[in-house]
Amino acid sequence: MRLKGRTALVTGGGSGIGAGIAERLAREGASVLVADINFEGATTVADEIGRAGGQALPFRMDVASEVDAAAAVAEAESRFGRLRIAVCNAGITDRVPVLEMPLVAFEKVIRTNLIGCFVTAQAAARAMARGSEGERGGRIVTISSVSGQFGGTGRAAYGASKGGIETLTKVLAVELAPYGIVVNGVAPGPTQIARTAHGPRQRAAFLDRMALKRYASPQDIAAAVAFLSSDDCDFIAGHMLNVDGGFAAAGVLYDPAEGS
> So which residues are the catalytic ones?
158
Can you tell me the distance from the alpha carbon of 20 to that of 105, in angstroms, rounded to the nearest whole number?
27
Cα R_g (the chain), whole angstroms: 18
**Angle (CA) 12 103 197, round 5°:** 45
65-90 residues labelled b (16+ CB within 10 A) or e (exposed):
beebbbbbbebbbeebebbbbbbbbb
How many other C-beta atoms lie within 10 A of the C-beta of residue 175?
12
Dmax of the chain from CA atoms?
66
Closest residue by Cα to residue 158 from 114, 217, 207 = 114
DSSP H or E segment with residue 139: strand 138-143
